Structure 1
Amino acid sequence: MKKIIGALLLVCIFVGGYLLIPSNYYLRQTIVHLYPKIDQYPIFENRKVSAKDPQPWETADVYNKLSINPAYLPQFKKHGTVAFLVIQDSALVFEQYWEDYSDQKRSNSFSMAKSIVSLAIGCAIDDGFIANTEQAVSDFIPEFNSFNGKKLTIKHLLTMSAGVDFEESYVSPFSPTTQLYYGDNLKDVVYGMKMIEEPGIYFNYQSGVTQLLAFIVEKATGESLSAYVSRRLWTPMHAEEDALWSLDHKGGSEKAYCCFNSNARDFARFGQLILNNGSWDGNQLVSASYIKEAITPDTLLIDKKYNEPNRHYGYQFWKLSFEGSEVVYMRGMLGQYVFVIPEKRAIVVRLGHKRGENYTSQHYPDDIDVWLKAASDLLNQKENKTF
């Protein structure tokens, strides 16, 4: 027994010592906080994305006179929905909140933030800080030059075809994704990525690639990502509330691949911007040509996971077909979505704790069908005045 106790003590001492190594800070955080959650931003340092010209959404005549079809409510509950919102013709048609969430309470965007980074790249091109999407990454970050003579471009990053050795895993405590989320040095992880195959061949979803895009925005503009997004997007779109972008450490870098914390009403503004082809109040915030490219999948890329042409991912935006509509959307790992439905001139936002575990033939989580059907039903109620 004494030998067993002694052995256990040695193991505890070894593990404890290993966790105390400064570079293993992220492991200590992982053990304390476990799986990422939508309300964790207080555990991180955050930088404000200022809303300097707030204006509320207009409300439709039928605002909140509609109701979610009861057939969908079990799925809303099962997946821990905290916010559901529908906008049509730039007016708020419906919104509902659960738990202690409201039109002001913040929730993590998770990977919806990737789409925001893409829009920031478009702004930087419009502003002349970046020449175009074909500009070499090494012009800004020399560590990423070329693979067998083929240069790595900003477009390769935008389309997730960079060919780097980044394992996208949300369950392993040792994955680089976990290191990005719970770690305190984003640059160590991202600048440590190696090019292992020719860029521009395979679509391979990698959060580290988006983080690299954010570093390019900072290098190109000379501003923090939060300050640039506030100036070029958040304030001109008249967001009602300041957002918070979580950082790796105090005064550090934004966790740009995730962790933009806001509310359903203000997240919807990004969808409206896409629906408006980059325009807001008559001002072109992002060029229409960039928006068109951003929401168009590059079918020449081969989806590495499914070994078929990429039909569902553009420049950090997703795309799917639903009931005859081509839907562009932003997507986060726990079921955070902003859907743009051009045929209905509508925006749908869903925030919550979980998403579907199964995937459709179009390779999107099957809970998406619930949110789109529920929104379609609400819009049909509005059109047919059945409320």
Structure 2
Amino acid sequence: MKGFEYLQDELKSMKDEGVFRSLVPLESDQGAKVVINGKELIQLSSNNYLGLTAHPKMKKAAIDAVEQYGAGTGSVRTIAGTFSMHNDFEEKLAEFKHTEATLVLQSGFTANQAILSSILTKDDVVISDELNHASIIDGIRLTKAARKIYKHVDLDSLEEALKESGEYRKRLVVTDGVFSMDGNIAPLKEIVELCEKYDALIMVDDAHASGVLGRNGRGTVDHFDLNGRVHIQVGTLSKAIGVLGGYVASTQAVRDYLIHKGRPFLFSTSHPPAVTAACSAAVDVLLEEPELIDRLWKNTEFFKKGLEKLGFDTGKSDTPITPVIVGGETKAHQLSDKLRDYGVFAQSIAFPTVAKGQARVRTIVTAQHSEELLQEALDAFAKAGKELDII
């Protein structure tokens, strides 16, 4: 079909430059090892931090929900798609997060779009960390509010932006709790103190902190003992929680407003029963099995130290996200391919996901990995890194 030649040309350029990547289908469940093209590989690219995607309690909850309520809901929440289980789960999640209320949306991406596009007007300003997630950036694009960007985790830059924006009705500061490409934690305590000093609202996206940081995985707000001082928390139910969806945890007023004004919520069919039931069971697992989080952090320390000892550049990570930064896009893809040859599935990340010259293989260990598996992975990194003259 004619008309897409310009796309074909761009794709050809990507292939010529060695930056075109195909989707990689998995032939197994999302475990410490996965099967790709019939070969078993150590999985280091999944967001399945606690191994909950196949947790027996969650699988049973999903199956039971399908048997009782069916495969889908058949409607958006505001018409006929709110089941009692949706409200029950949101109440449980609010209690877990120590907030007044929560609202669950289809994904973490749509949660950011819903909150940012709906609560701000042309009389307001949003102040965003320059390395915030793409969903935050796109959410900001949908608002009519003014925008200011502060340098990454730079408190002086943030304070300057706050000082310069005193004429707006509301100032909303937005930051990731854990930054997804570098694995560093935002200095949330200091950010909150600045927001309180300048009477600004604060919003934290805890996509990579939910289930990982804080007591029983409550996130960065709990990690820094800031419960009750952060206006809006956004998180995912698809990473450490192991299923699908996103949530906004805030006040009852914010929940009620999003139900009426949040377009991603208003115009998307509600989560099927299996998803909602499994997410609810995941909160129970977080409360009942804290040893999973302990194991995750023990594995993180072992693997991170191993990479650093080999001489790899792991940046400024202090979470289970550990990037292996190599610089050039082609080199990062070559490292990923070599690792797969040696039994490790660790995907490369390049521009535009990260800045040019900052291409990397991003690794994420999980609670499912054994120390023996992680040592195997380190041995593969050593072999591939030397062959490519990275170390």
Instruction: Give me the TM-score of the superposition, normalised by structure 2.
Output: 0.26
User: Which protein has the bigger helix share?
Assistant: 2
Instruction: Give me the TM-score of the superposition, normalised by structure 1.
Output: 0.27
